[in-house]
Amino acid sequence: MKLLFELQKKIDGLRTNYSGNIISLVDICLKPIGVECATQSVLQYFKMNQKKYDDYGGVQHAQYCFEHYSSDEACRSAFQAPLDPSTVLGGFSGNNYSEASAFIVTYPVNNEVNDSSDENGKAVAWERDFIRLVKEEIVPIVRLQNLTISFSSESSIQDELERESTADVITILVSYLAMFAYISFSLGDTSRLPSILISSKVLLGLSGVILVILSVTGSIGFFSAIGVKSTLIIMEVIPFLVLAVGVDNMCILVHAVKRQAVEVSLEGKMCNALVEVGPSITLASLSEVLAFAVGSFIPMPAIRVFSMFAALAVLLDFILQVTAFVALIIFDVLRTENKRIDCFPCITLSSSFESDRGSRQMKPGILVRYMKNFHAPMLTIPGVKIVVIATFTAAAFVSIALCTRIQPGLEQKIVLPSDSYLQGYFDDLADYLKVGPPLYFVVKDFNYRLESNQTNKICSISQCNSNSLLNEITRASLIPESSFIAKPAASWLDDFLIWLSPQAFSCCRKFVNGSYCPPDDQPPCCQSSQGSCGIGGICKDCTTCFLQSDLQDGRPSTSQFREKLPWFLKALPSANCAKGGNGAYTSSVDLTSFDGGIIPASSFRTYHIPFNRQIDYVNAMKAARDFASRVSNSLKMQIFPYSVYYIFFEQYLNVWKTALINIAIGLGAVFLVCLVITCSLWTSATILLVLAMIVLDMMGVMAILKIQLNAVSVVNIVMSIGIAVEFCVHITHAFLVSSGDRRIRATTALGTMGASVFSGITLTKLVGVIVLRFAKSQLIVVYYFQMYLALVIIGFLHGLVFLPVLLSICGPPSRYVAMEKPENEPVSGQTSNQSN
């Protein structure tokens, strides 16, 4: 405890320069009564004065005060209020305060944000210097004593989040660079030096990435211009989303051009390539745009803003892909035909490489040969089909069962950097804290008129209703495991009625002229300069406010209540009358326009039990609201609960509803786009089924990995619908426009588009996602690496394994139409087209 005094001395001596003014704790601390700070510390039992530590008897005095903190004046704090030991001690069981293994010190500060003062700016400046002081000076002192210390301030989380947002910038950039490097490699041909200098597509890949950047900046610029602010999720997710979608289209377009016959003219190659893959690219892109656009009507701000930015970014990217990027492909083909070096098109190689290039152009790549010769034939085996259908169906049903285990919330430790000092602080809160956040039950429009009987519906002293609000709170505190209420509420109404009672003869008193007379141990009845307080001073003629006969069953009349309540709220507590309301209840009662018999709002403070998990916060808020609703209905009064953390956890009460609505809207939007473009209910239903199974499996993985449901994960699920379309649409479209029976068409679709989907969609995303594993932030590791990796694997398995099998069994009818050979025009490698 002497060490605690030493640390307190350093904190009291902390000085901060704010706008040329020197700020200390005394300048910003909360002072409910007088000039003393309302610091919550065990040192308050010694009036925050080290000299009184020995005078009062040291530790023995503190142990005495643990049991008598509300009754003995010697145990009262320096700011004249009783101090509950459960708020300043930790690591004990029951009421065995002497077994405590942790001190808890809290410095309440004035940090109100308003235009008339700069209290918040002063508090934030002092808090940041306080964190620096603890890190640099206090932590070493504590460690020398083989003790540990954890600390935090109200601005700590915001400061650490800002640090976290820049901590993994390099990791995210490396992820994007890895995707760009793979794009450049996959777009080019497999060649030997030095011909690879011509066949590589680095410049084309870089141009495609620039188009993605333009679409993202265009979206951000447009919404910024109309006043919509971007968020951290947007800056981290949107570029990855658009790059993932854009890369898919780039790879598919380039691969489609490569598949064209050598003898076809450049214009014919581009026309045939756009005919071959243009409908599926359009279908996928418009499905993603509509899915995101409809999500912008969701009330959760983070999801709404993300959906708005994502919809416009994907739309702009699609427009640039089918216009600018097509032109860039033409330029790249011309560069290749003229044997100009990639990235240095001004340099031309000799013509000796032309025959090598021409001889290899028609040779299929490894992935194409794998898809045609092994993957597709294997999936046509009847036994394999049965295993695939059974496995994926079982996975979907298992995922449905697992979804019920997903808990709402967002663990604060995950959001913060792994090396943050707040990590240890939250651990110690869970291990040592024995009281949770303050909980206020607010009564609106309290009718204190005697005839309303609402006073007895609230209070808990004698003659109050047995089912009164405060009695119900007390009963709820006896079952904290379900009510999440730790103790009975502090009641200004109970203390006011006791203070008003003639039995408390030292409390409510009046002078002969009818004005308020304080207790005999307070000025002006007792002057500290006189050294003692006698009964013959100016207060000798003071009398109690009322006789027992002036009250009706111990309750004041309406006029008596109205007159004496302001007296009570200004009365200082003291040894003669500990029930004074000044300080303890100053802010508990709204006296605005209360003269008419109605108190607009008043609060009764209790505490939640300590919370160790995010779900505890959510369940406690639900329990408090259910309790308030039940009591409100019983008493016919307006009562609602409030705790400081409710504003942050309000979103989790309806996060499941929000998630399901977003999923339904996204799937419905994709279905409608598919139906409009393909004019096939069969095709649209097939795509919808596969997308629904992908989403279900994604949520099943979330349950297995214990990923919570929050704005970040809901955004990822919505995004997964858009990206999953890429895995399904291209294979389905290729199946739709192929000829033959279902088995042959499924094999042809895999042979045509399987390699493009695997290399252009699966591997591209996989390369970028794996880099995120090395991020310092657990938020990126959990919500981006793990969820994106799950999306890539699940999408790949459904798109290239389950979907072809499903199509081979019950796929839609073919729309193959043989193309007539135009005169004087060679036949291209593409022999089918969409009839519509």
Q: Is 534 within the bounds of a domain?
A: no
Whether residue 115 is predicted with pLDDT greater than 70 in this model: the reply is no
Q: Is 517 within the bounds of a domain?
A: no
pLDDT at 638: 96
CA gap 662, 715 in Å, rounded: 9
**Is the domain of 623 the same as that of 662?**
no
Whether residue 140 is predicted with pLDDT greater than 80 in this model: the reply is yes
**pLDDT tens, position by position, 227-254:** 887 766 666 667 777 777 777 778 888 8
Decide: 440 and 485 in contact? Cβ < 8 Å. Answer: no
pLDDT at 833: 42
User: When comparing pLDDT for 505 and 671, which is higher?
Assistant: 671
**Is the domain of 179 the same as that of 215?**
yes
Tokens encoding 797: 């398995």
**Is the domain of 157 the same as that of 177?**
no
**Is the domain of 480 the same as that of 595?**
yes
**Is the domain of 615 the same as that of 684?**
no
**Is the domain of 240 the same as that of 363?**
yes
Model pTM score: 0.77
Whether residue 117 is predicted with pLDDT greater than 80 in this model: the reply is no
Q: Which of 443-452, 656-665, 817-826 has the lowest mean pLDDT?
A: 817-826
Q: Which residue has the tokens 């503190």?
A: 62
Could you tell me the CATH number of the domain that includes residue 733?
Answer: 1.20.1640.10
Phi-psi region of 825 (alpha: psi -120 to 50; beta: other; left: phi over 0): beta
User: 345: Cβ–Cβ under 8 A, 6 or more apart, which residues?
Assistant: 203, 335
pLDDT at 179: 75
Boundary-marking domain end, from 610, 643, 676: 643
User: 670: Cβ–Cβ under 8 A, 6 or more apart, which residues?
Assistant: 287, 290, 291, 687, 688, 691, 721, 725
Burial class, 94, CB count within 10 angstroms (exposed 0-12 / middle 13-18 / buried 19+): exposed
Region 526-534 average pLDDT: 62
The number of beta carbons lying within 10 Å of the beta carbon of residue 443 is 25
Three state DSSP letters for 318-367: HHHHHHHHHHHHHHHHHHHHCCEECCEEEEECCHHHHHHHHHHCCCCCHH
Q: Which of 263-267, 291-295, 406-410, 702-706 has the lowest mean pLDDT?
A: 291-295
Intra-chain end-to-end CA distance of the chain, in Å: 84
**pLDDT tens, position by position, 253-301:** 888 888 888 888 888 888 988 888 888 888 888 887 887 787 777 777 7
Q: Is 535 within the bounds of a domain?
A: no
Strands 344-348 and 509-510, by their bridges, are unpaired
Whether residue 51 is predicted with pLDDT greater than 50 in this model: the reply is yes
**pLDDT tens, position by position, 453-464:** 999 999 999 999
Boundary-marking domain end, from 163, 195, 225: 163
269-298 burial string, b = 16+ CB within 10 Å, else e? bbbbbbbbbbbbbbbbbbbbbbbbbbbbeb
**pLDDT tens, position by position, 61-111:** 999 999 988 778 788 888 878 888 988 999 998 888 989 999 999 999 987
Please tell me the total count of domains within the chain. Answer: 3
CA gap 819, 351 in Å, rounded: 36
Decide: 315 and 281 in contact? Cβ < 8 Å. Answer: no
**Is the domain of 479 the same as that of 395?**
no
Q: How is residue 530 annotated by DSSP?
A: G
**Is the domain of 470 the same as that of 384?**
no
Q: Which residue has the tokens 């981290």?
A: 236
Whether residue 504 is predicted with pLDDT greater than 90 in this model: the reply is no
Q: Of 590, 657, 591, 654, which Cα lies nearest the Cα of 625?
A: 654
Q: Is 419 within the bounds of a domain?
A: no
Q: Of 660, 689, 713, which Cα lies nearest the Cα of 812?
A: 689
Boundary-marking domain end, from 643, 672, 690: 643
Q: Is 833 within the bounds of a domain?
A: no
CA gap 730, 734 in Å, rounded: 6
CA gap 560, 163 in Å, rounded: 57
Decide: 214 and 316 in contact? Cβ < 8 Å. Answer: yes
Share of the chain residues as helix, strand and coil, in percent rounded to the nearest 5: 60, 5, 30
Q: Is 831 within the bounds of a domain?
A: no
Region 179-191 average pLDDT: 69
pLDDT band at 832 (very low <50, low <70, confident <90, very high): very low
CA distances, 132 to each of 110, 160, 163, 421 (Å):
20, 13, 15, 11
pLDDT at 612: 82
Q: Of 708, 681, 725, 672, which Cα lies nearest the Cα of 783?
A: 708
User: What range defines the domain where residue 573 resides?
Assistant: 438-508+545-643
**Is the domain of 617 the same as that of 674?**
no
CA distances, 804 to each of 187, 668, 671 (Å):
25, 22, 19
pLDDT at 415: 79
Helical spans, DSSP H, in 188-265: 196-199, 202-225, 232-258
Q: Which of 112-116, 363-367, 471-475, 677-681 has the lowest mean pLDDT?
A: 112-116
Contacts of range 518-524, beta carbons closer than 8 Å, 24 or more positions apart:
518/571, 518/572, 519/574, 519/576, 519/577, 520/576, 521/574, 521/575, 521/576, 522/572, 522/574, 522/576
Whether residue 825 is predicted with pLDDT greater than 50 in this model: the reply is no
Q: How is residue 821 annotated by DSSP?
A: P
Q: Is 428 within the bounds of a domain?
A: no
Task: Show the CA angle centred on residue 429, arms to residues 426 and 434, nearest 5°.
Answer: 165
Decide: 829 and 261 in contact? Cβ < 8 Å. Answer: yes
**Is the domain of 61 the same as that of 137?**
yes
Region 656-677 average pLDDT: 89
* Maximum pairwise Cα distance, the chain: 126
Q: Is 574 within the bounds of a domain?
A: yes
Whether residue 577 is predicted with pLDDT greater than 60 in this model: the reply is yes
Region 789-810 average pLDDT: 93
**Is the domain of 493 the same as that of 504?**
yes
**Is the domain of 154 the same as that of 180?**
no
Q: Which residue has the tokens 């005169």?
A: 823
CA gap 138, 733 in Å, rounded: 67
pLDDT band at 823 (very low <50, low <70, confident <90, very high): very low
CA gap 287, 291 in Å, rounded: 6
CA gap 261, 828 in Å, rounded: 5
